[in-house]
Amino acid sequence: MAPRAFDAIVVGTGAGGSTAMKILCEAGLRVCALNSGQRIDPTKDYRGHRQVYDLKFRGYGNPLRLQGKAHQEPYSVEESEYSEASDLFEHDVAYSNAPGTDWYWKRCKATGGKANFWGRSSARFGDIDFKAADLDGVGENWPVDYAEMAPWFSKAERYMGVASTVQNRPSNPDGEYLPPIPWRCIDYIIQKGAEKIGVPYLPDRCAQLTVTHNGHPACHYCGNCSRGCDVGSFFSPTWFTIPDAEATKHLTLVTNALVRSVLVDQDGMATGVAYVDRATRREVEVYARVVVLAASCVETAHIMLNSTSRHWPTGIANSSGQLGRNLCEHLYGSPGYGYLPQLLGQPATPDNIADSTVAWMPRWQNVTNPREEKFIRGYSVYMGGGCGEFPGYYSQLEGFGSTFKRDITRYYPTPIGSLIQAPTLPSPTNYVDIDPETKDIFGIPQLRFHFQWGQNELLMWEHSKRVMVDLFKAMGGELWGMDDEPNRPGTSLHETGVCRFGHDPKRYVTNKWAQAHDVPNLYICDASIFPNCTDKTTTMPIVAFTMRTCDRMLENFKQGVHKRA
């Protein structure tokens, strides 16, 4: 029997892939979605409402759980004892770091990907981002502008449900918002201090439902979002896009299918993909008229670099030589943490929303004059605190025994911390390639990272530390300290750039529609197309750009550029 061909294959069911599945299925296309790991079941796999004392290892997990795994490193926050019984995170497929690189690649292989556990910060990009090169003369403009993208951001926000306020800031275009998340006591104190030093402190744009939205219930503020929401009160593929795609009956979802390469015909066009069935370790081929890669930025480049053929000796659609290049990332780290003495002795309040990006300091540097600071572009800062379930500030206090425990209780409502989000600039020395020496346990050549922080983001890092000293003083706080150095690259999970889009086929991997210049029936629906990071996060834009790409793809089907299977 001849193998059945689909209209489209979508690789990955995260924010990008699941949005593509939904749109293409709703348009009547027959779609095969391939997901690297198992299907997530919120009733079993999200166990956020357990108390730490109910868990054998107090939430930290069995220290021996990764024994025998190819990739030994645990992932912070989202991977914990709360979801330990399930095999949600990638520890079978290892990766390499070139000498001097310390990239930390966290991967959720379950359906829905990382957006099951994401932080939900969802600001729009603006022309200050798309046309940054025009403003400061460095790098390249994006192939789109705000006027073109605004309707797609609106569409994404209306679907996802994003809580915020209208703020009229040039660095942060306003969108279509649900009511904002109510502020905590600390937010009002921080805002007053920030005002004194000329720094904005405003509600973040947060994809968390403050009211019932499109049939999804309003948040009940249990504060366990990073362990997965058991009622679907924030945007995640598990609760939104995947059920929508399945409701059409046009979707075939294959789990535990680790895609290794895109297959091509005699003309070098995509005909389908080859994947390894994790259970049997056998290679399987599946065919379609169009292939959509949405395996999450660097993994999309990994699949493309491994897709070599007579036509594409260095990886599919790589005639520009840009595949894997221009890896960008957010520099993360805490430029200041301490406490607010004015809150000592206050009773604990039920503001356990420490997991949410309730408020932030949107970029305020180089906004009117692009060269005002020693660095170009700009960064944003998130502030955390409030009465979280676990007193994370324990490591910032000294002592032991009963005095230490008393101190932890005494400080409970008072500690606050900060997190800088500083974009890197593209650099020829930051990229991914295939490690020529090493294959993973499935026989697939491993991805290798080459990455160092650049001077521009390190200047932002130093700047943010000085701002925190001033802020703590201005709000009457006491600064306990600041991180000695930034977090490891990869920590933010906002990497971009390795399949960047642009007009010139000689210099960019895809066109402005995220359609490979060389292979018109190959599309990309993740952050790998973004030429650089901004001071904002990537997920809502991934959804918006995916909606736009799929609209174009459907038009191409209509016009006969792509034929139905």
Residue 234 lies near ligand SF4 (rule: CB under 6 A): yes
d(CA 102, CA 96) in angstroms, rounded, equals 9
Count the alpha carbons within 13 Å of 325 in the hemisphere toward its beta carbon: 16
340 touches ligand FAD (CB under 6 A): no
Shortest distance (Å) from residue 217 CB to ligand FAD: 21
219 binds, among ligand SF4, ligand FAD, none (CB under 5 to 8 A by kind): ligand SF4
3-state SS assignment for residue 146: helix
Q: Bridge partners of 208? A: 234
The token pair at 268 is 């070098």
Q: Which is nearer to ligand SF4, 190 or 225 (CB)?
A: 225
User: If binding means CB under 6 A, how many residues of this protein chain bind ligand SF4?
Assistant: 12
Among the listed residues 467, 466, 457, the one whose alpha carbon sits nearest the alpha carbon of residue 487: 457
H or E element: which one contains 24? helix 15-26
Residues 235 and 22: their CA atoms lie apart, in Å, by: 14
Which amino acid makes up residue 113?
Answer: G
Stretch touching ligand SF4 by CB under 6 A, among 100-108, 231-239, 321-329, 442-450: 231-239
Whole-number Cα distances in Å, 44 to 39, 58, 64, 227: 11, 19, 22, 12
Per CB under 6 A, the segment of 20-28, 172-180, 223-231, 452-460 that binds ligand SF4 is: 223-231
Neighbours of 348 (CB within 10 A): 11
In the complex, what is the shortest distance from the CB of residue 460 to ligand SF4, in angstroms, rounded to a whole number?
30
Q: Does position 324 bind ligand FAD by CB under 6 A?
A: no
CA angle 426, 431, 433 (to 5 degrees): 160
**Cβ pair 501, 529 in contact under 8 A:** yes
Helical H runs in 310-411? 401-411
Contact status: 231 vs ligand SF4 (CB under 6 A): yes
Name the residue nearer to ligand FAD (CB basis): 33 or 340: 33
Q: Is 441 in the site for ligand FAD (CB under 6 A)?
A: no
Could you say whether residue 121 binds ligand FAD (CB under 6 A)? yes
Whose Cβ is closer to ligand SF4: residue 172's or residue 226's? 226
The answer to whether residue 223 forms part of the interface with ligand SF4 (CB under 6 A) is yes
- The reply on whether position 495 binds ligand FAD by CB under 6 A is no
Q: Which tokens belong to 565?
A: 């299977």
Angle, CA of 380, 383 and 389, to the nearest 5°: 145
Do 135 and 129 meet the contact criterion of CB atoms below 8 Å apart? no
Could you tell which of ligand SF4, ligand FAD, none binds residue 221, using a CB distance below 5 to 8 A set by kind?
A: ligand SF4
Q: Which residue is nearest to ligand FAD (CB)?
A: 14
Q: Give the bridge partners for 63, in sequence order.
A: none
Partner touching 78 among ligand FAD, ligand SF4, none, CB below 5 to 8 Å by kind: ligand FAD
List the one residue from 6, 9, 10, 13 that touches ligand FAD (CB under 6 A). 13
237 sits near ligand SF4 (criterion: CB under 6 A): no
Q: Could you say which of 96, 224, 296, 446 contacts ligand FAD (CB under 6 A)?
A: 296
Residue 78 binds ligand FAD (CB under 6 A) = yes
Q: Rule CB under 6 A: which residues touch ligand SF4? A: 208, 219-225, 229, 231, 233-234
